[in-house]
Structure 1
Amino acid sequence: MIGNTEQKQLIKTARITGVWYLMMAISGILGFMVFHSQIFVSGNPEQTLTNLVELESTARIRLLFEFAIVISQALTAVWFYKLFKDSYELEAWTLGIWGMVNALAIMISAISIASAIGVANSDISVMEDKVVLIQVFQNIISNAWGIGGLFFGLWLFPMGYIVIKSKRMPVWLGRVIILGGIGYLITTFIRYAGIDFSYNRFLILPATIGEFWMIGYLLMFGIRPSNE
């Protein structure tokens, strides 16, 4: 009876984890993949400055989605720790802490977006000064996400390890997640080593598959009973 109660509580925790994870995915897709390119034009700070002034409302929506990513990432990390701490305490701590580092990396991006909006709509009269500052903020945003790829990958390792060792989720889910983590690390190193590799983005495809698989499993099934 006690075991059934504990399992029901774990399933509830797993599904809440899935909700936070889904929120993170949705806010990331909308913020980074939909709204970001409408405002921030790579290699063109002048156009970006124009967009920040003429499309200020859209820019602020982009910023709010960045807030949503930070909050949902932090909550996902906390709930993963809560889900796994009783059986795999060290790995759960590692997963939670590295997940929080992800949130901090994205918060740096959010700070830069807010600063860019502020500078673009400020009373600075010299246009060249504004353009230079916007370019700096664009680079910070890009590199916060780019170098953040290190921990976007690292936090998948304890997640995948727990799945494989516990067998409370599909073992292949854990393997795909770990493969995705490796892909993130390799992609980040290739990018910042200055290597021109046209297929670099495909290296994180296993991470995308694994994370959406994890979200779906958490929401639909939660977590299997322990075999111990």
Structure 2
Amino acid sequence: MRTARLAGLLYLVVAVCGGFAELGARSTIKASDDVAQALRDSAGLMKVAFAADVVAYTCFLLVGLALYALFKDVHRVAAVAMLTMNAGSVAIQSLDLVNHAGAVLAAQRGADELAVLFLDLHGVGYLIAQVFFGGWLIPLGYLVVRSGMMPRVLGYALIVGGVGYLLGLVVELVAPGADGVALALGVVGGISEIAFLLWLLVKGVSAPVRERVLVP
């Protein structure tokens, strides 16, 4: 029960910090008419967003570890797959912070085109990471369904959410102009994650997993 609640609390930190950095900072700047000038004017905001991302990625890795501890006896292979995707997402997004910092530094030095390029590169890195932070929901959803510790509908919702993230990535790559479709698919993934973290925080798990390892 404590592990589940801890995972929920950490997941909430991820949602708040990550949401602020991506939606409150970078997306706002990208929407500006003069992105480089917006970067200069909002250098302080971008530094706070950088710190928020560091906190979010650290907590996200801890979420993966906590959920692995919770579900490893349900299905070892699925639990390892979940943790691997989680760690892959953290690694890619952490490296992508170099582009975030580069955009601010380039703008402050008057290299406007380079600043915009760094911000665009960060967006590319974010899309690559989406393969992992979307993909990890699929084995996680399977584990939730298999465990019986939470309502199965939550597990199915996570699987659908993971597929939604991955389809959103495909839409971004194949039809970059279809932002509305990609956004809608991303919302599906986001809703499933919010429902899951709220259940962990409020309800926890109904019963411990039986000590067994299931082989596929």
User: TM-score surpassing 0.5?
Assistant: yes
- Please give the alpha-carbon distance, in whole angstroms, between the structure 1 residues aligned to 2:176 and 2:20: 29
In the alignment, is residue 222 of structure 1 matched against residue 204 of structure 2?
Answer: yes
In the alignment, is residue 14 of structure 1 matched against residue 24 of structure 2?
Answer: no
Q: Which residue of 2 aligns with 1:27?
A: 17
In the alignment, is residue 76 of structure 1 matched against residue 66 of structure 2?
Answer: no
Which of residues 88, 98, 120 is equivalent to 2:85?
Answer: 98
The answer to whether the 8 A contact 1:153-1:180 is kept is yes
- Please give the alpha-carbon distance, in whole angstroms, between the structure 1 residues aligned to 2:162 and 2:131: 9
5+ unaligned residues in a row in structure 2: which ranges? Answer: 211-216
Amino acid aligned to 1:16? L
Q: CA RMSD in A?
A: 1.9
5+ unaligned residues in a row in structure 1: which ranges? Answer: 1-10
For 1:50-199, what aligned pairs fall within 5 Å after superposition?
50-122=37-109, 127=110, 130-194=111-175, 196-197=177-178, 198-199=180-181
Percent identity between the two aligned chains = 23
Could you tell me how far 1:178 is from its partner in structure 2?
0.3
What SS does the aligned partner of 1:86 have?
coil
The answer to whether the 8 A contact 1:164-1:174 is kept is yes
Post-superposition CA distance 1:54-108 (Å, at most 9, x none): 3321121121112122111111111111111233222111111101111122213
The answer to whether the 8 A contact 1:14-1:223 is kept is yes
Instruction: Flag the structure with more relative contact order, 1 or 2, with Cα contacts below 8 A and sequence separation at least 6.
Output: 2
Give the TM-score taking structure 2 as reference length: 0.88
The answer to whether the 8 A contact 1:177-1:206 is kept is no
The answer to whether the 8 A contact 1:149-1:185 is kept is yes
**Which deviates more from structure 2 when the two are superposed, residues 173-182 or residues 138-147?**
138-147
